Every structure is written in C-alpha cells, then in structure tokens.
Structure 1
Amino acid sequence: MGLAAGIVGLPNVGKSTIFNALTSGKAQAANYPFCTIDPNTGIVSVPDSRLQKISERIPTLKEVPAYIEIVDIAGLVKGASKGEGLGNQFLGHIKNVDAIIHVVRCFEDTDVVHVETTLDPIRDIEIIDTELMLADLDTVERGIVRMAKSAQFGDKEDKDGLATYEKVQAALKQGRPVRQLDLTADEKEVIREMHLLTSKPVLYVTNVDEKGLGGNVLVEQVRKRAAEEKAAVVVLCGKLEAEIAELPPEDRAEFLSGAGLSEPGLATLARSAYTLLGLWTFFTAGEKENRAWVIHQGFTAPQAAGVIHSDFERGFIKADVYSLSDLETHKSEAAIRAAGKMRSEGKEYRVRDGDIMFFKFNV
C-alpha cells in the first residue's frame, strides 16, 4: 500500500530500541542525542490470528501476513522547527510518513540521560507538538501569502482555500494540532495538499520498565492526555521487547509467560499502527499460499483485486466471498458452496475487514 508510520519522540526515549525490536533491525540505539540521523525504515508484520485459523481449515504451503512500513525518525528537541538538532531534516522525514507513533519515556533510569534532565511525559509530548505546530504554522503562513495573491483575481477555489489556510493558522496559533480540528470534506482536501505534520493521526507508546507494564503514574498522565485527543495508547517495555526479539521463536512463549505477558507488546503496537493508518485486511486462501492483503477501509472489490495485481483490477469480473465464520461453521470451501454461503460480488461491492476472497477476471 505504500503507507508508513513514523516513530518520533525526544532523544533517548527508546525509539530505536523499539524500532529494532519491531523490525529485528539494527538501527543505532546509543545513549546520546541524534544517534539516528538518516531515517531507518523497516517492514513489520501485523499479527492476525485469523490467518492461522484459515490455515487450520485450508492446509497450505505457506502463510503470508499483512505488513506495514515503520520509519525510525531521529529525536526532536526544542527549537527543531528553527533548525536546532538537525531539526529541519528530521521534520522533513515526518512529512513523508502517513501517521505518527509518538514514543514517550515513562521509566526511571539514571544510566539513560533525559534530554530535559527530568521525567515529565506531558511536557515531552508538548515539546514535540509545539515543534510540529511551529513548522506547520510556517508552512501555512507561506501558503497564505501565495494564496492571497491568486485570490485577489476572484478565483473561488483560491478564496475557499485561503479561508481554510486562515482557519488552520488561527488554530495553530492557539496551540491546537490540525488533527483536532472539525473540517469539511473540502477543507480536508486542502489540508491534504499542504502535507501538514499535525494533520497526521497519532498513537502514543509509553515506554516503561518491567515494573510499569501494568501502568504507572506517568502512563496514566499520558492516557488522560490521549483520551482528550481521542488517541490510542500502547504500554510496553522497550528493553524487554528487545530481549524477546533476540530469542529463538520456540523460546518466546516461555519467556512471555515468565514476564506475565500473553504476547509481545510489539504485537499490540503493530496492530494499533495498522488501525491508525486506516487499513483493513482481506484474505486469499489456497494450497500454495494463505495470505493477508492490505487495503484501505472502503475499497471496492476491483480495488482490492488490484492490490494483488493490476490485471485483476483491469479485467475484474466478480469475486467469490465468504467469511471466517462461514469457514469455521462449514469446515471447507466446498461445504460453504453447498450450504449456499458463498457470495458472488460485483464491482460495487465494498470489501469488509476479514473477507476471504477469490477473484475472477479476464484481460
């Protein structure tokens, strides 16, 4: 799908540690600011129990999960919007992602220096938000100058666009990120063209020590802040997740059990990022491969077919569709057909999350 979520936060909050565990990559994770300069990019699988359940009924040679792209962006500091700490470069990296995973430090560790010297997750969130809003304000004000010139000539589209720019400018000056504004469809389109940093949806990740996995005072502060923004929060211990990622797969279950976890926190993070990006999954199933495919919410059947191959979309005829519930009830595709539960859907069909599909096409 070409969609990516960027991991942001202050230096030394655990971004690269979490990124490395997510991707099993080896981004630099040192105890000093700006150890990540170029953005590290990784592909992350999204755990989905539905894929395993399909394979229980339809034996296959391999399973292919859904994937999303995660980008580890260097730590931002106060003054980033003015170029501090290579800020302009890092802000540019944020512009290129579709959603933001904001890592917030919620653990004490005298061996890991906090760039602000003290622990205060709300202050840390506000530092990042302020820098992103200042960068957006600069973008919007330059746009207003440009738009005002063309609006003078009576172009209605430019006048409407100018009004949107001014609405956003007023909000940013009040300290409100663009994602919190109530916008019309036309205004959202104008915003999309501006590529504003604070228009991107946000997921907060509270990085705790092992004692904080059940929550702590700092986590609760972040939860309260996130609730005001209608944002989600994932609690995990980056250090523990890094240890889990290094283990052989056969040893992970025992390690998780010992830590009181049913699954790695990163599994929750991957699924939350997937939802944040507005993505759904449909499945194809067969002897050679059972696979999860990534689509935008609201995709039609031909658009979903095009995710597999452009020829499938171009020559789309129809799609045979059934649900996991149908498969679990009737045990096989043949039995689903015999029971009259296999649906034949045409070009207008809106794919549902979890649909199992077989496409028919002709080119």
Structure 2
Amino acid sequence: MFGEKLIFIILCYIIISYYYEKSMSFSVAIVGLPNVGKSTLFKALTKKPVAIANYPFTTIQPNKGVITVPDERLTKIAAVIHPEKITPTTIEFIDIAGLVKGAHRGEGLGNQFLAQIRNCDAILLVLRGFSNPDVENVLQEINPQKESAILQLELLMKDWEVLENIIKKLEHESKTKDKLILKKLNLCQKIKEELNKEKMISEINLTEEEKAMLKEYQFLTAKPIFYLLNTNHQTKTDLPQPHLTLNLKEEEELSEMSAEELKELNLNLYLDQLILACYNILDLITFYTVAGKKEARAWTLKRGLKCPQAGGIVHSDFEEKFIRAEVIPWQKLIEAGSWTKAKELGLVKIVGHDYLVQDGDVIEFKI
C-alpha cells in the first residue's frame, strides 16, 4: 500500500514538473550580502509583508512572489479587441537569505542558500551603496565592487566544488567508453580549467551544444546576472553591465501609493524598469493570444523557439496537433483596428511548423 502511494506521489511530481516547465515560468533569485536591501526590494516588488530588520539573517527560508510583467502592448491590444479579460505574463522573484564570505564552505548557512539559487533562471545581485548607522554593515564599509567580487567568488567556488564531484562521477562512468559521457567529461574538464582562472561559466566561449549539455547541472555562474545598486544617491560607482541604481527604501514607500497618488504628486516608480531588465536578461520574448474576444493574454517564450512550441505553452493540443497558425505583429493589429479588418487587409499571415515566433506576435493556433 505504501509503495503504491509512493509511486503515485512520484508520478504526480513528474507530471507537475513537466507542465511547470511547459508553462515557461521563469524565476529570478534576489542575492546579496546581509542587510543590503533584498527583502525591502522583494516587499516593494510583490507588496507582500516580509520580515525586514537591521541585523543579518532575518530571512532564512526564501520568500517567493509572482509579479506581472509591465506591458503597454497588451493594454493597446486589449483596447482594440475589447476582451472580457486581460491576463499579463509573469515572472517570479525569490528573496534568498544573505550570503557571507565563505558561503560555499557552509558559512552562515551558505550551502543551503546557494542551493536555493540553483533552481532559479537568473540572479539579481543587490549591492549596498547607502550609509545608515542603524543598519548593520557586515562589510564594515560602503564598497559595492568588493561586495560584487565576494558574491561572484562564492558562486564560482560553489560551481567548482560541484564540478569536481561531476568529473569524478563521469571519470568512473567513462570506463564504458560511452561517447556522450566522454564528451561531457571533456567539456567539464574544459570548464574546470576556466574556473581555475576565476572566469564565470557565462563568460566562457561555448557552443550551443555545449550550453545544452551543461544545462542539467544548473551551474550558478552559467546563469545571467543583473546588478542593482541600492543607494541613497550619495554613492557613485562603476558596476558591471547590465546594472541599475535605485533607492529601494524610496521605492518601497512609493509602491504603497496608488497610481492616482503617484500621478498627483508627480512621482515615478522605477521598479518596472527592473522587472523588464530581469525579463530581458533571460532572453525572453512575449507573444499574445486574443481567444476570440474572451481574453487578451501575454505569454512568455524563450527567444528562437518555433510556433508549435509556443502553442504548447498555451495548451498541449496546440503543439501535439498543430497544423498551422495565423500571425500578425501587434503594431499591425492596432493599426487595422480589429482582427477581422486585419484579415481583410491581408495583414494576417499563415505560418507552419518552422515559423520562428517573434517578439510581439499575436497568434491564433489551428489544430
């Protein structure tokens, strides 16, 4: 009886994991030293109440929040289609507890926190650029470049440690002379040489085949990184690209105000820039469906995928039973004024299995 229950649970997990992956959900880990403003940022982004304190390790278990991606194009499409419902695409942010020097060796629960980053698609490194005697500074100085170097080294050292174990395992398995295993072993040895030079995996010149081969290992330094300087406008510094400078305390306070209040006071909230920046470093595109007039919806897709794969995100039948699709760039739909008018003007094109979906495409799948 217990065995049957266990098999059922495993099958459910496999099915859920499959559909989670198919749904093209993407997540960004908010990473930094303690007390740099990570939880403040998370609260401003998600409007969720989280524990924020002036001492290290207020956060132990990661906070998670799903955020809608700002999209003026979807608003304009809806204005033309007049749907019953509008559904934007989303991205998940995960507030990871503060890392410290030596995290890869387990310092400050570092192994636990680094493992939480592994499951994310991108990393948002938050760096401290503000002085506040009431908020403990674990670095004892305002030095964003030094913080960045510490965090990058911790990610790199953790990858090196994981890579060592992978190589040992592959060396043992390579005795079978399996060609794929030998190829993986050679690649991992190449990666190790570059890590020894303190080079991030994302900085190594790899082929698409090699990148695909490494994907299963979820290396931390293979993930795209965006840098955010949390400043009170007193610190100016050169940071790696891409980066953004924000006062997160101000952003948190502004996020609690309504759109009307912000407009009345002529204030701007810059968090949308950050959300879009994280979306962009993942090399994602957005396509749209209009489902008659029931729903105008934005969908997230990895750049370079074909029409049936996009259809599979909407519904598995649209991939498995795909015949063709009708496609129009969103601007042309707006100019035409309606889907029907766009078809009359010959602006809607018929595409097949090999069509590469473009950012901003409005698609109707046919099965």
Q: TM-score, normalised to structure 2's length?
A: 0.89
2:65 alignment partner in structure 1:
42
Q: Map residues 9-158 of structure 1 onto 2, 5 A cutoff.
A: 9-158=32-181
The alpha-carbon deviation at position 153 of structure 1 amounts to 4.6
2:246 alignment partner in structure 1:
236
Q: Size of the alignment, in residue pairs?
A: 343
- Distance in 1 (CA, whole Å) between partners of 2:308 and 2:219 is 31
- Distance in 1 (CA, whole Å) between partners of 2:230 and 2:360 is 31
RMSD: 1.6
1:342 matches 2:348: yes
Is there any run of 5+ residues in structure 2 with no aligned partner, and where? 1-23
- Distance in 2 (CA, whole Å) between partners of 1:64 and 1:124 is 38
1:323 alignment partner in structure 2:
329
SS at match of 1:125: helix
User: Among residues 22, 25, 32, which one is paired with 1:2 in the alignment?
Assistant: 25
1:265 matches 2:270: yes
Q: Map residues 173-184 of structure 1 onto 2, 5 A cutoff.
A: 173-184=196-207
Question: Comparing 333-342 with 67-76, which one deviates more in the overlay?
Answer: 333-342
CA contact (8 A) 2:25 2:90 kept: no
SS at match of 1:291: strand
CA contact (8 A) 1:300 1:350 kept: yes
SS at match of 1:110: coil
2:365 alignment partner in structure 1:
359
- Distance in 2 (CA, whole Å) between partners of 1:350 and 1:177 is 30
The residue identity in structure 1 corresponding to 2:170 is M
The residue identity in structure 1 corresponding to 2:215 is R
The residue identity in structure 2 corresponding to 1:249 is A
SS at match of 2:227: strand
Structure 1 consecutive aligned stretches of length 4 or more whose deviation exceeds 3 Å: 152-156
SS at match of 1:206: strand
Percent identical residues: 40
Q: Map residues 220-231 of structure 1 onto 2, 5 A cutoff.
A: 221-222=238-239, 226=240, 231=241
CA contact (8 A) 1:106 1:119 kept: yes
**Distance 1:334-1:2 versus aligned 2 partners, 3 A rule:** closer
Q: TM-score, normalised to structure 1's length?
A: 0.90
SS at match of 1:252: helix
- Distance in 2 (CA, whole Å) between partners of 1:114 and 1:78 is 13
The alpha-carbon deviation at position 142 of structure 1 amounts to 1.6
Question: Comparing 188-197 with 175-184, which one deviates more in the overlay?
Answer: 188-197
SS at match of 2:312: helix
Superimposed CA distance per residue, residues 24-55 of structure 1 (whole angstroms, 9 cap, x where no aligned partner): 11222211111111111110111011011112
User: Among residues 272, 278, 282, which one is paired with 2:283 in the alignment?
Assistant: 278
- Distance in 2 (CA, whole Å) between partners of 1:162 and 1:349 is 35
- Distance in 2 (CA, whole Å) between partners of 1:318 and 1:157 is 36
